[in-house]
Amino acid sequence: MSRARIFTVMIRQMLACWLALLASVMLAGAAQAVAVPPPPTEARYGDAKIAVALHADGAPRAGQEWMLALRFTPSASEWHGYWSNPGDAGQGMKLWLDLPAGWQIGAPRYPVPQRLTISGLMNHIYEGPYTVLVPVQVPAGADVAAFGQVKGHVEYLACTDQICVPQDALLLAGAGGDFGRWRAEVAPQLDARAAFAVADKTLRLAIPVPAAMGLSDPHVFIANERLVAYAAPQTFRRVGDVLVADIPLDAYGTGEAAQVEGILAFGDGSGVRFAADPGDVPTGGEVVAGPRSVPAPPLWTLILGALAGGLLLNIMPCVFPILSLKALTLARASESEAKDRAEGLAYTAGVVLACLALGALLLALRAAGEQVGWAFQLQEPGVVVALLVLAAAITANFAGLFDLPAVSVSMGGEKTGAFATGLLAAFVATPCTGPFMAAALGAALLLPVPQALLLFACLGLGLALPFLLLGFVPPLRRMLPKPGAWMERFRRIMAIPMGLTALALLWLTVQLGGRAFGLVALLLVFGVLAGLFVTGKLQRRGKLAWPAFGLVAAPFLAFALIALPNLYEAKGAEAKESLLASQPFSADALAAARASGKPVFLYFTADWCVTCKVNEAAAIERESTRAAFEAAGVITLVGDWTARDAAITQFLTDQGAAGVPLYLWYAPGASAPQQLPQVLTPALLEAQAKSSPGTS
Q: What is the mean pLDDT of residues 120-142?
A: 93
**pLDDT at residue 1, rounded to an integer:** 41
Is a pLDDT exceeding 50 seen at residue 165?
yes
387-423 pLDDT per residue, tens: 889 889 888 888 888 876 544 444 444 566 778 878 8
At 167, the pLDDT band (50, 70, 90 cuts) reads: very high
Contact of 16 with 85, CB cutoff 8 Å:
no
271 DSSP β-pair partners: 265
Is a pLDDT exceeding 70 seen at residue 143?
yes
Contact of 156 with 96, CB cutoff 8 Å:
no
**pLDDT at residue 138, rounded to an integer:** 95
Is a pLDDT exceeding 60 seen at residue 251?
yes
Long-range CB pairs of 157-163 (<8 Å, 24+ gap) are 157/81, 157/82, 157/86, 157/90, 157/91, 158/48, 158/49, 158/50, 158/74, 158/79, 158/80, 158/81, 159/79, 159/80, 159/82, 159/90, 159/125, 160/78, 160/79, 160/80, 161/78, 161/116, 161/118
For the chain, the domains span 3-185, 194-289, 299-387+401-494, 583-691
**Local structure of residue 371 (DSSP, 8 states):** -
655-681 pLDDT per residue, tens: 777 678 889 998 887 766 888 887 888
Domain 194-289, second-level architecture: Sandwich (2.60)
At 10, the pLDDT band (50, 70, 90 cuts) reads: very low
**pLDDT at residue 124, rounded to an integer:** 96
% of the chain exceeding 70 in pLDDT: 82
358-384 pLDDT per residue, tens: 888 877 776 665 555 666 677 788 888
For 244, the enclosing helix (H) or strand (E) is strand 242-248
Is a pLDDT exceeding 60 seen at residue 465?
yes
| Phi (first) and psi of residue 499, to 5 degrees | -65, -40
Contact of 660 with 641, CB cutoff 8 Å:
yes
Tally the C-alpha atoms within 13 A of residue 436's C-alpha that lie toward its C-beta.
Answer: 23
Q: What is the CATH number of domain 3-185?
A: 2.60.40.1250
**pLDDT at residue 693, rounded to an integer:** 54
Is a pLDDT exceeding 50 seen at residue 72?
yes
124 DSSP β-pair partners: 115
Q: What Å distances lie between residue 94 and 152, 154, 221, CA to CA?
A: 11, 6, 19
**pLDDT at residue 581, rounded to an integer:** 86
Q: What is the mean pLDDT of residues 234-255?
A: 89
**pLDDT at residue 135, rounded to an integer:** 96
Strand arrangement, sheet containing 202-208: 219-222, 260-265, 271-278, 194-199, 202-208, 242-248, 235-239, 286-289
Contact of 486 with 358, CB cutoff 8 Å:
no
At 168, the pLDDT band (50, 70, 90 cuts) reads: very high
478-487 pLDDT per residue, tens: 787 776 777 7
Q: What is the CATH number of domain 583-691?
A: 3.40.30.10
For 398, the enclosing helix (H) or strand (E) is helix 381-398
Is a pLDDT exceeding 80 seen at residue 509?
yes
The answer to whether the 194-289 and 583-691 domains have the same CATH topology is no
Q: What is the mean pLDDT of residues 240-265?
A: 91
Reduce the DSSP state of residue 127 to 3 states and report it.
Answer: strand
**pLDDT at residue 51, rounded to an integer:** 95
418-463 pLDDT per residue, tens: 788 788 778 777 656 555 555 566 666 667 778 888 888 988 898 8
DSSP 668-680: TT-SSPEEPPSS-
Average pLDDT across the chain, whole number: 81
**pLDDT at residue 153, rounded to an integer:** 95
CB environment 184-211: b (16+ within 10 A), e (fewer): ebbbeebeeebbbebebebbbbbbbbee
195-235 pLDDT per residue, tens: 999 987 899 999 999 887 878 789 999 999 989 999 888 98
CA–CA dist 494, 397 (Å, integer): 10
**pLDDT at residue 64, rounded to an integer:** 94
